[in-house]
Amino acid sequence: MDIPRIFTITESAHRIHNPITPDKLAALGAALRLEPGARVLDLGSGSGEMLCTWARDHGIVGTGIDMSPLFTEQARRRAAELGVAERVTFIHGDAAGHVAEEKVDVAACLGATWIGGGVAGTIELLARSLRGGGIILVGEPFWCRLPPTDEVAKGCHANAVGDFLMLPQLLASFGRLGCDVVEMVLADQDGWDRYEAAKWLTMRRWLEANPGDELADEIRAELASGPERYATCTREYLGWGVFALMRR
């Protein structure tokens, strides 16, 4: 079981597979006022940076589930590196339908809400693992400016303008799903640069090491066109944030 190989090539050197930066991830952990021993579930945990750093900084106990064997292995290595391997567990698997055996204080899905079939389904899924009064974290894109055309939207990880909401509408949509928004940490352009621009050096080095690979042409084309498209589209139009929700 694995995710499409293109992601494990372009994001193999990423610790965080989203436009949130280490300082913002730390700000989010502090904002949630996590108690030592708090249980955190992370669906689509990637390379585990959130759980590992929160285990180090706040003494949380975490479980992450991710479909990528590479990212899961990187998460385990990161846990050992930070001395928190006793506190966090990383499971390689499909997180769709995953419900924790023991209820958690925080249930998260950052930048992987397709796991629950969209934001609404992911909130439902996370809620099934959550103790009463617990916090749901959803990491999701929104438009900070409305793209003028679907063409521009396609350059922003979307299929059409209608795929994402503006921030006020996204916040309102959480209310319609029965949730209070109790905190949020938003990405900025520097965060997008860390996520997107970091792929370019990784791609360049991968191309040098793997010139004959079946994906070499695709990666070469992406490296050639990605930076300009990114500056035209994602960097100008797309926002991203982590929203902390409590059910009403």
Residue type, 184: M
CB count in 10 Å sphere of residue 214: 8
Q: Which of residues 61-120 bind ligand SAH (CB under 6 A)?
A: 65-68, 71, 94-96, 110-112, 115
Give residue number: closest CB to ligand SAH: 46
Taking the least distance from each CB to ligand SAH, the nearer of 82 and 220 is 82
- State the Cα–Cα distance between residues 156 and 139, nearest whole angstrom: 16
CA distances to 85, 108, 177 from 26, rounded to whole Å, are 19, 15, 27
Give the total of residues touching ligand SAH (CB under 6 A). Answer: 20
3-state secondary structure of 63: strand
Q: Is 166 in the site for ligand SAH (CB under 6 A)?
A: no
Residue type, 87: R
Q: Is 46 in the site for ligand SAH (CB under 6 A)?
A: yes
Helix axis angle for 22-31 and 49-58, nearest 10°, is 50
Q: How far is the CB of 68 from ligand SAH (least distance, A)?
A: 4
19, 24, 32, 44: which one binds ligand SAH (CB under 6 A): 44
Q: Is 18 in the site for ligand SAH (CB under 6 A)?
A: yes
Taking the least distance from each CB to ligand SAH, the nearer of 49 and 222 is 49
* Radius of gyration of the CA atoms of the chain, in A: 18
Q: Which two tokens stand for residue 157?
A: 């990880």
Q: Are 245 and 138 in contact (CB under 8 A)?
A: yes
Q: How far is the CB of 57 from ligand SAH (least distance, A)?
A: 17
Q: Are 24 and 55 in contact (CB under 8 A)?
A: no
Q: How far is the CB of 141 from ligand SAH (least distance, A)?
A: 12
Quote the distance between the C-alpha of residue 143 and its chain's center. Answer: 17
Q: How far is the CB of 212 from ligand SAH (least distance, A)?
A: 26
Taking the least distance from each CB to ligand SAH, the nearer of 18 and 53 is 18
Taking the least distance from each CB to ligand SAH, the nearer of 66 and 222 is 66
Contact positions vs ligand SAH (CB under 6 A): 3, 16-18, 44-46, 49, 65-68, 71, 94-96, 110-112, 115
